[in-house]
Amino acid sequence: MPPKDDLVYLGHMLDMARKVSAKTAGLTRESFDDNEDLRLAFAHLVQVIGEAARCVSEDGRRRHPGIPWRELAGIRNKIVHDYMDISFDVVWAVVTQDIPPCCMSLNTLCRRTRSHRRVLAVPRSSV
């Protein structure tokens, strides 16, 4: 099996961070608290970002120290393993304070490495 491509995970993190940014634009804490679907969506998006961050190789994490790898994986673990006690105060803080600078860093990183492309494995024909 070929090694996992860090750039795919970085691109996925950026996609999800952009979704968070789009959904938080103009959003108030009161609106967040009043909308269960939105709270659950944000918890899921943060979980996916953390899972993708967890899949980036140790070498990839060392090469990109501007991304809070440990914290992203930690919040993912909290949501997944302590799902009955998710703190939406923490989710709100993550999506409004932590994800925007992370999104900017990922955007710069992906642009710089031209990595934000979908990688499709297409079998070559024998012709």
Distance CA 52, CA 15 (A): 11
* Residue 115 dihedral angles phi and psi, to the nearest 5°: -100, -10
Cα 126 from chain centre: 38
Whether 76 is a known active-site residue: answer: yes
Among residues 62, 81, 112, 118, which one is catalytic?
A: 81
Whether 124 is a known active-site residue: answer: no
Residues with Cβ within 8 Å of residue 107, at least 6 apart in sequence: 14
Among residues 61, 64, 76, 118, which one is catalytic?
A: 76
Catalytic residues: 76, 81
